[in-house]
Structure 1
């Protein structure tokens, strides 16, 4: 039997790759006696972390007879992506105690961990440690992480101060981060500036237009929102559609919002209707602020109830045995109302639900999420 290569294991780390395929690679490595080979075990740590199974990643990591920097960095960044900031920092501190060599990738993981957990002071401390103590020159990605750290915490002035003092011009990722934060914190003036910068850098990227129009919609300025949408049409900029994927019995199914293309569509929508009743009995009230269309509240509730992630979860509920964990992937950020709903579904249905959105993993269990409602 041939050696399962790191390439194979890393390929399985893709969010849409089969969960079972990754496990088969792991099993074959054990059977062939190569599971303790450093290149294989390090790739397995990365594969499990990226596939949403951080517990298995940690099990492989703990069993490693030797570890390279890839293993350590994978655990730090893996815990960061899954929202376990303190666990990520614990791994990092273990690296420090063992006087292990660290690189720029290590600190991207560490600062990201602080970002997703709201640990602003810690993130600042590690950024300074990297520069002053380890003499690692920060890259654009490090600055992006720091801007994200401040922005998520609502510290937009601090984020702009950092941008203005960077040794190079801010790239598209940084301005997209600022714009997204302005949407959350309703800072229209800074949001317009960030959108202008982003459109100059990437005139065909829909993110700037969509975030800016969403910000106007959230502020109730429907005229300004319409102008942004007209500009998109004039420049032929297409908005990225929101898709959600779920894997059932080694087959991947994709859903769009309000999708009726699935053969079991009738059953899926019936499941959603039944869930709607149970959710309201549990105290759920739809947050229509997340519907960025100028329509009546009743229509807004219908729009929310048919978001792609809800369709994927409803399909998972009817297509898998009771108690089976559900894992979905979404190409955009999960909205706040869907986040609330999925927490309640995990409690009502007694299911563990993992959602991998464009930012991170969310692990829902018994009505709670691993992100602590901070993302």
Structure 2
């Protein structure tokens, strides 16, 4: 929600008036100088939307304030051009309404288009988190990184390395929405206050590493004739892509990272396939390159890749205490394993000598049915929170 700055207004006053933490208002307006506010300039208040209200006979601003349970000055602030003592019948004013409901609701068949739409809506209401394009997929889709919080602890989470594991993106996006809601409304998640965690932890999220593959699984053969011909050549004329894990080139993105490339490539497929083909060389694909470059510039303390399935947390050379806490809060099993010689987390562990975790959500056969979503989310929520407080 945007408002216009008035004479003598301060960010602290807005924080008190709307009951939103000052730091969230500051983060929502990074170019603003708090000590030098200019009258008439716009400022963003996170966690609110403006709802139109049509004036009826005998309406007063006081009555409207009581009706919507909002302070009188919020109405004066959001309707600075009206004559508050003489409301015109049939005219419209704006009511600031606190957002209390989830925006991320349609988590089934979570395509790239759905994700981008949800990110746009969340960004509009919660401008204190930022987004950045870190690269592009083979088909030109933006690979988006979302960033929230600040502090010396820098952690990263990604999802949908594998196309038919798109449910991991749904889980990530729902957590982001719940986190944003808790921050602006001052509510707890699992009994924990989120604001101190926001102040301590910089969280980086790439919710969908493989958007072309996800859309192939969910939407079928792409309209682009070149890519349609390519995927049909890989699978024959069978248009069931439910078991497709690779990117649109038939390269498994989680086999693109050079730890012990020769070992993995020798035991993998030798040509493009729906899964397990590591590509002609490390980082041959733009998606894996983008993730590798992100690791170089962000200096993460630890990273997490969400996959399905098995209800297992794999960890490598160090980080057992954290893995054990993830296991405690989720009920998942913690296992030390370094068998994927070209996997993202294994590469991160080897290169940066820092903890990396591969978290296998849910149980059954991938792609997991959306009927499992609530159970998967309930178990993964503890891991997301532990990632912030550890």
Where is the strand percentage greater, Structure 1 or Structure 2?
A: 2
Superposed pair shares fold, TM > 0.5: no
Higher relative contact order (CA 8 A, sep 6+): 2
TM-score (norm 1): 0.28
The structure that is helix-richer by fraction is: 1
